[in-house]
Every structure is written in structure tokens, then in C-alpha cells.
Amino acid sequence: MKCVLLGAGGHGRVLLEARLPQTFDAILDTRPGLQEVAGVPVLGGDDLLPDLAARGFTHFVVGLGSTADTTARAHLFQAAVDAGLTPLAVLHPTAWVSPSARLGEGCQILARAVVNTGAVLGANVLVNTAAVVEHDSEIGDHVHLASGALLCGGVRVGAGAHIGAGAVVRQGLQIGAGALIGAGAVVVRDVPAGARVAGVPARPL
């Protein structure tokens, strides 16, 4: 296995520590003049991605986070797959993932996060620091649960949604694809696809 980290900003550095730097053989990062991070060499920018398989790379980890829009993470993930690389999961040693949970390719479960009984996560889902996915919830591809977010039991989240830091989603609700839940929101009713809500209780922005 030869693995590349795609991006070494704030989120990328968290992943370096979560998996330990020796897991990664190289980094792609667009910042000019950056030569190494935590002892891992930076090869150059994302334009090198199509050539990595020919250079012996087999796996990748998306090192890009998101603050409201998950499309950049999704595009980077797909570009790496199209380049012939396989997504590698990141599971922090302090995270809890139920044995009955199912994780898609390239999921990232960070420090003190919980993925509970019967939960199903799609590809490239980011469950950030201390976020919780409760029992029987289903999370679509490329969703980002920001730090401290809480999904109660049986919540359904559509692909590409962003659940802000500290937000709470009541049990059994549906969050549509591409929706944005603002930081600290308390969601007590379904949220349509593409909607942006915030507040307590959450209302459309």
C-alpha cells in the first residue's frame, strides 16, 4: 500500500495525527513552496493526481474539510477514484464504532466520535471530533457532521449535507441532500433537500 493525503491544511493535519504520519507516503497540497508536513513530503498540487497510480500510489485520504459546502470534498474524492486510487478509511483510536454499523469507503471517524448500533454511513462521510451518529441512522455519501453534532436515533441524512458544529437533530427526522444545518441548531422537523436552516428551533435562513 502506498497512500497519499489530499490536502494538509487544518483538517489534513488532524488526519496526519489520527493515522500517524508514517501511514502516508506523500501529500498533495496547492500551497506554493510547501515541501513537507510532519515529515511527509509534499509532491505538489492536485494537478498531479492523475499521475499517482503510475508512480505506485494505491490509496488516498481526503484531507479537505468543509465549513458549509461539501461539494469540494466530493469532487476531490471522485477525482482520486477516477485516477485509479482506493479510498482509505480513518478511524481515530478514541472513536467508537459499533460492530453492527456499516461504513462506506473512505469514511473518517475522528476523536471521541460515536457511530452507534445499526448506523449506515455512505462513502466519504466525515464524522468530526466528538460528533455522534445514534442507532439506526442512515447517512448519505459525502456528508460532513461537524464537531459535536448529534444525530439522534433513526435520522436520515441525504448525500452532501452539512450538519454544523454542535447541532442536534431529533430522532426519526429526514435531512435532505445538500442541506445545511447551522452550528448550534436544534432541528425538530424534516429539512428539505438544499435548504439552509439555523436557530433553536431551526428555521429557514
Q: Which residues are catalytic?
A: 135
Residue type at 201?
P
Q: Is residue 76 within 8 Å of residue 63, measured between CB atoms?
A: no
Helix (H/G/I), strand (E/B), else coil: 83: coil
Per the listing, cell 456499516 goes with: 102
**Number of Cβ atoms within 10 Å of the Cβ of 107:** 24
DSSP assignment string, 165-202: TT-EE-TT-EE-TT-EE-TT-EE-S-B-TT-EEETTTT
C-alpha torsion angle, residues 89, 55, 49, 44 (rounded to 10): 100
